[in-house]
Structure 1
Amino acid sequence: MANPPYQELSRSIAGKTALITGAARGMGRATAHLFAREGANVMVTDLNPEGAEKVAEEIRAAGCSAVDASELDVADPQAIKAIVAATVERFGGLDILINNAGFVRIAHPSEPEYEEIWRDSLNIMLTAHQRLIRASLPHLQQSQDGGRIVNISSTEGYGATPQNGPYAVAKHGVIGLTRAMAVDLGRDGITCNAICPGAIETPIHSVIPPEEKARFAKRRVPLRRYGLPEEVAHMTLSLCLPAASYITGEAILVDGGWRIKNG
């Protein structure tokens, strides 16, 4: 029997529309830049509207005009509905959702602020994800090559570090949400995956002295360095390509080998 003809699969997101949360800095900013350079329409959103607009200006200065920016508090259900509607009105549809917004606040369970941090962590880094997915769903269902959802989890989704319980619980939940949505949305051709970054050079890690980061990387990371936000952004892009249409429900580590060494 003759082999079937080779099927050429598209590796382009040109003309697709992406909504990215938490995009004023770090991995969200890198993802916005990369997607715009790849020809996508990009809605840059963040709790900090000035930061979001600054990123949009950077992208325009790089020669990409199909970009807009907006303030978004992902803890506000009405704001979520409004930003999805605004994105669709601005660009004519919505094909890609990147749930990236998050924060870290350290506390021991015995401290009084733990309850507040717990509430905010689950609301911003888990409940908001499902709200954004559900608000985007009617538009993702209409995407020509199948909608794409990428949720940003963490290596904390596989373990926990001291005094970081609410964050770890939220990131574990993101992996569970990703798997559940992959099962529920597969019949619509929508893929839902998670990315679990390890130690990445983002503003969250900027408070750590460079010598401590270098010591950690040499001891715990096989590649012996922190990762770049752009390295996470490229994995995000890979999961959003039309050619990635048979990958769903996965939680992909971008951690320089941290988990295989410390697992």
Structure 2
Amino acid sequence: MNAFRLDNKTVLVTGASSGLGAHIAKVLARQGAKVLLAARRGPQLAEQVDAIRKAGGDAAALSMDVTKPDSVEQAFAEIETEHGGIDVLISNAGVATEPRKFIDTDEDAWQFQLQTNLSGAWRVARAATQQWIASSRPGVVVNVGSIYGLRTGVLKVAYNVSKAGVVQLTRSMAMELVRHNIRVNCLCPGWFLTAINADYFATESGARYEKSIPMGRLGRLEELDGPLLLLASDASSYMTGAELVVDGGMVHKAI
């Protein structure tokens, strides 16, 4: 079980100021990693870093907007000079808009999701791998995708396309980077209860949707911990280009 440990590893988590990203950062810190939490929201980042440190973990905040090339470039310059580089990238930054029909999806909604979910993942992974290759350093990338990158869902065309792109990005990176000792895999969650969706799942419609999941319930964030640690650690040393689905059976649900 020591293969799941992350002692002496520095891990960058994007989108870490709240929700899944903040949870991921805490899980990695408990496994011995030094965690760099990156996001746009400084005060929220500081709160998460403080919580990790109070629990005995090693963490630092990093200002980064994945939609802006200059912000990513500056962040990785700081990573190199202040932290000596990273060993693992958890590319988690992502957004979604309210449900809307395809014909009602405007330019702003389309670009908002594609720029963060797909272009942001590409931009950050490219910066990380450039540093690794330049220093002949091995690396691990875990792209956080979604079951909607593997199946479709109505009223979320931009989100679906962005996450399908993340899956293909993962596969393409994996095949090109394996010769540099860089592994790339994709974690594909289904529906997990978070602050963002709690109000919806408290409604009658949300309760019906929850019952439609083959396991009959939403996932709990801690149920992502094992799959996350598998992909982030040496426990997955013979895995690259894979999609690891954690969704209560939703992606294989018969229609």
| Global fold match (TM > 0.5) | yes
Indicate which of 90, 105, 119 corresponds to 2:111: 119
Tell me the residue number matched to 1:3.
none
Alignment length (residue pairs): 252
Give the direction of change, closer, same or farther, for the CA distance of 1:42–1:143 in structure 2 (3 Å limit): farther
Tell me the residue number matched to 1:82.
74
**TM-score of the pair, normalised by structure 1:** 0.89
Indicate which of 182, 188, 191 corresponds to 1:190: 182
Q: Secondary structure at the match of 2:4?
A: coil
Indicate which of 85, 93, 117 corresponds to 2:85: 93
Tell me the residue number matched to 1:137.
129
State whether structure 2 residue 45 is matched by structure 1 residue 52: yes
User: Which residue identity lines up with residue 255 of structure 1 in the other structure?
Assistant: D
Q: Give the C-alpha shift of residue 73 in structure 1.
A: 1.2
State whether structure 2 residue 73 is matched by structure 1 residue 73: no
Cα pair 1:198 1:256 within 8 Å, conserved: yes
Cα pair 1:17 1:96 within 8 Å, conserved: yes
**TM-score of the pair, normalised by structure 2:** 0.92
1:102-141 alpha-carbon deviations (Å, 9 max, x no partner): 1111332333x62111112111111111111111113334
Q: Secondary structure at the match of 2:17?
A: coil
Indicate which of 153, 164, 174 corresponds to 2:156: 164
Q: Give the C-alpha shift of residue 188 in structure 1.
A: 0.9
User: Which residue identity lines up with residue 121 of structure 2 in the other structure?
Assistant: H
Q: Give the C-alpha shift of residue 53 in structure 1.
A: 1.1
User: Which residue identity lines up with residue 127 of structure 1 in the other structure?
Assistant: S
User: Which residue identity lines up with residue 181 of structure 1 in the other structure?
Assistant: M
Aligned pairs for 1:204-215 (under 5 A) are 204-211=196-203, 212-215=205-208
Tell me the residue number matched to 2:235.
243
Cα pair 1:53 1:70 within 8 Å, conserved: no
State whether structure 2 residue 222 is matched by structure 1 residue 230: yes
Indicate which of 24, 43, 60 corresponds to 2:36: 43
Q: Secondary structure at the match of 2:103?
A: coil
Tell me the residue number matched to 1:5.
none
Give the direction of change, closer, same or farther, for the CA distance of 1:60–1:216 in structure 2 (3 Å limit): same
Aligned pairs for 1:166-181 (under 5 A) are 166-181=158-173
Cα pair 1:96 1:149 within 8 Å, conserved: yes
Structure 2 CA distance for aligned equivalents of residues 173 and 30 of structure 1 = 24
Cα pair 1:27 1:230 within 8 Å, conserved: no
State whether structure 2 residue 9 is matched by structure 1 residue 10: no
Q: Point out where structure 2 has 5 or more consecutive residues left out of the alignment.
A: none
Q: Give the C-alpha shift of residue 193 in structure 1.
A: 0.6
Q: Give the C-alpha shift of residue 262 in structure 1.
A: 3.6
Cα pair 1:34 1:234 within 8 Å, conserved: no
Between 1:249-258 and 1:222-231, the stretch displaced more is 222-231
- Aligned identity (percent) is 33
Structure 1 CA distance for aligned equivalents of residues 39 and 251 of structure 2 = 30
User: Which residue identity lines up with residue 121 of structure 1 in the other structure?
Assistant: Q
Q: Secondary structure at the match of 1:208?
A: helix
Q: Give the C-alpha shift of residue 161 in structure 1.
A: 2.1
Q: CA RMSD in A?
A: 1.9
